[in-house]
Amino acid sequence: MADQKKGSILSGIFWMFLISILLFWLPGFGPLIAGIVGGKKSGGILNAIISVFLPAIVLGIFLFLFTSVLSGAPVIGFVAGAGSFILVISNVGPLLIGAIIGGILD
């Protein structure tokens, strides 16, 4: 039989996002569990790492741009965008560790 691809980056992103939302009340373990499940659904370590960083980068850029546009003051928008970017990055650590574990388990 031919080697079939077991998962995809989009399914990993979807499961990481869904489980992170559902387990928001577990500060350290929620993203870790979401990373393990998403890493397993991604189909490998490299896909799992891409599944972690792609949404974080997109969300950070999105928050930075739209807080600048909606505030009307570029300096206030920059500060609010930088703060929200820090919050997004703080979630990436446990998510990345979980994704690597899930990618290894796959």
Total structural domains within the chain: 1
Give the per-residue pLDDT at 7. Answer: 80
In a domain, 4, yes or no: no
7: region left, alpha or beta (phi > 0 left; psi from -120 to 50 alpha) = beta
Tell me, yes or no, whether 38 lies in a domain: yes
3: in domain: no
Please tell me the predicted confidence (pLDDT) of residue 71.
73
pTM: 0.77
CB atoms closer than 10 angstroms to residue 16? 28
| pLDDT by 10s per residue, the chain, length 106 | 445 567 888 999 999 989 988 988 888 898 899 999 999 999 889 999 999 988 888 877 787 778 777 777 778 877 887 887 787 778 888 999 999 999 998 7
| Residue 15 in domain | yes
Alpha carbons 100 and 83: distance in angstroms, whole number: 27
47: domain range? Answer: 9-105
Please indicate, yes or no, if residue 52 is contained in any of the structural domains: yes
Q: What is the distance between the alpha carbons of residues 60 and 73, in angstroms, rounded to a whole number?
A: 19
Quick one: pLDDT at residue 89?
78
pLDDT of residue 10: 92
In a domain, 1, yes or no: no
Does residue 92 fall inside a structural domain? yes
